[in-house]
Structure 1
Amino acid sequence: MLAVSLVLLLCSSRAQALERSGFVAPPAGTYRLQRILNTPEGLVLDSDGSPQKLSRYVTGRVTLFSFIYTYCTDARGCPLAYATFHNLKKSIEGSPGMRDNVRFVSMSFDPQYDTPEAMRNYGGKDARDTHGLPWHFLTSRARSDLLPMLEGFGQDVSVASPPPNGQRIPLLRHMLKVFLIDARGQVREIYSPAFLQHDMIFNDIKTLLMEQGIKAR
């Protein structure tokens, strides 16, 4: 997880740069997030290998969702998403009213190599945490199951180059997108790497909870 450790440092540096620039996230509840699209349905595998409908993981709670693959090393890609989620998880768990109404989901782009076991290993302690904020690490049985979900979210991914000699795993190319989903399964915000700012996402989550009448401090 060296790549994630490096990105944690980058996240800290980015936050300091935003602070120096005078950026301040607007207070939660002072604005409204538009309804962008409905999340698609699909068949996924949880990290224990059990088949489930995707709707189980994108409804009923406010959900922060991203597509990743476990062997990504792009500092502005999957490791950035992991580091952002990890930092937010700690903040949300310290906020009354938030932990029990929010979940995170990391969904693999690559069902061939990212098996349920691989996703469980990738998630580490976060995947095994049964007391804190739920963070699900999902994959699918086959690319044919995955494609409708990618299309439904509007998430592009392609093979950037063939694997080097002796390496089975292809290099994938994608634009990182992180989706904020309300409890009804509607996407309310899509973050690109430039906008993965801790306070902004934290306040957006609180705003959606406040829509539900949930007090979150």
Structure 2
Amino acid sequence: MLWSKRSAAVLLLSLGMLGGCRKPTAPMKTESHAVHGKVVSLDKSSSEIMLDHETIPGFMEAMTMPYRVDDPAVLGEVHPGDRISATILSERDDAGPKNLRLHDVVIVGQAKPDYLPPVVYHTPKVGDTVPDFKLLNQSGKTISLAQFRGKVVALTFIYTRCQLADYCPRMSRNFAEIDAALAKNPSVYAKTHLLSVSFDPKYDTPAVLRSYGGGVTGKYTKEDFAHWDFAAPPQSELLDVEKWFGVGVTPGNNNSLAHSLSTVIVGADGKVLAFYPSNDWQVKDALAVIESAAK
């Protein structure tokens, strides 16, 4: 069959019109959820971890299932029996979440003591006395946890370059809500203090923390940091701080840090009142603990 130039042009135009009539497919949004669990087994051929994990509120019940890891090098670091924290990334369409994979895997508990490095993480418990760690704050001043004795302290861990919305940014948003709520009651406000601790002291200098903190509170250069400090431990004491508060940190690509989370409410006597090891704690619950202890 012979095609004229006109026939070919008509056909191409028709196909273009048909293509233009199709409804464009909306890009799927990537979701992220914090997960904690125990490694059951590894499959290096498929880059999968069989994980027995806890309930992920609003996303998935506790279960054991395989997850592909987005960084196969992780499989050389984890072992069956290790406890890990990670982020589950997925996309969602009308059928539900798909393409589930583990990102930012951090070992928070080793199954065998001979694994290297031999780091043992402490899990803060209600009644534990918090050590008097020293920190350098946004004003270049060395502060200590002991100086806040007599006040109820809400303490959480962040680093300013964190890009995962459900991790450090979420902790900072939660603390901003707590700070605003406490400010409505001057007597309680005077008996409380907030502390955001960075585990990236090399980058998070006092100047960086001051800029970050002013942005978080929304007061920018007018922030006086009287009620909320942003600080980091010296590099020489960083690991001790991470271990006591149960914060696992592993260097990633492009200056990122894979890490777990830790938020602690400390009473006026310097002892732990509540410990939240993930990102699913609610502001109202933490606020209730703080306000009750500060009365």
TM-score when scaled to structure 1?
Answer: 0.70
5 Å matches for 1:133-212? Answer: 134-141=227-234, 143-159=235-251, 161-163=252-254, 170-191=255-276, 192-195=278-281, 197-209=282-294
One-letter code of the match for 1:184? D
Q: For the residues of structure 1 that align with 2:233 and 2:289, how far apart are their CA atoms?
A: 29
Q: For the residues of structure 2 that align with 1:162 and 1:105, how far apart are their CA atoms?
A: 28
Q: For the residues of structure 2 that align with 1:61 and 1:39, how far apart are their CA atoms?
A: 13
Q: For the residues of structure 2 that align with 1:113 and 1:97, how far apart are their CA atoms?
A: 36
Q: For the residues of structure 1 that align with 2:227 and 2:143, how far apart are their CA atoms?
A: 16
CA contact (8 A) 2:135 2:233 kept: yes
CA contact (8 A) 2:233 2:241 kept: no
Q: For the residues of structure 1 that align with 2:285 and 2:128, how far apart are their CA atoms?
A: 20
> Whose helix fraction is larger, Structure 1's or Structure 2's?
1
Secondary structure of the residue that 1:202 maps to in structure 2? Answer: helix
1:95 aligns with 2:185: yes
Alignment match of 1:81 (pick from 171, 189, 194): 171
Greater Rg, structure 1 or structure 2?
2
1:44 aligns with 2:129: no
Report how far residue 184 of structure 1 moved: 1.3
C-alpha spacing 1:193/1:47, structure 2 compared with 1 (3 Å) = same
CA contact (8 A) 1:70 1:119 kept: yes
Secondary structure of the residue that 2:239 maps to in structure 1? Answer: helix
Aligned residues: 168
1:108 aligns with 2:198: yes
CA contact (8 A) 1:150 1:156 kept: yes
Identity across aligned pairs (percent)?
A: 28
Report how far residue 71 of structure 1 moved: 0.7
CA contact (8 A) 1:89 1:133 kept: no
Report how far residue 96 of structure 1 moved: 4.2
Report how far residue 107 of structure 1 moved: 0.8
Q: For the residues of structure 2 that align with 1:133 and 1:140, how far apart are their CA atoms?
A: 19
CA contact (8 A) 1:41 1:55 kept: yes
Secondary structure of the residue that 1:201 maps to in structure 2? Answer: helix
TM-score when scaled to structure 2?
Answer: 0.53
CA contact (8 A) 2:136 2:142 kept: yes
> Whose strand fraction is larger, Structure 1's or Structure 2's?
2
Q: What's the C-alpha RMSD, in Å, of the aligned pairs?
A: 2.3
Q: For the residues of structure 2 that align with 1:133 and 1:89, how far apart are their CA atoms?
A: 11
Q: Deviations along 1:129-154, whole A, 9 cap, x unmatched?
A: 34x8600010133x212111112222
CA contact (8 A) 1:41 1:149 kept: no
Q: Deviations along 1:106-143, whole A, 9 cap, x unmatched?
A: 0111111000110000001638534x8600010133x2
Secondary structure of the residue that 1:75 maps to in structure 2? Answer: coil
Q: For the residues of structure 2 that align with 1:99 and 1:72, how far apart are their CA atoms?
A: 29
Higher relative contact order by CA 8 Å / sep ≥ 6: 1 or 2?
A: 1
Q: For the residues of structure 2 that align with 1:40 and 1:96, how far apart are their CA atoms?
A: 28
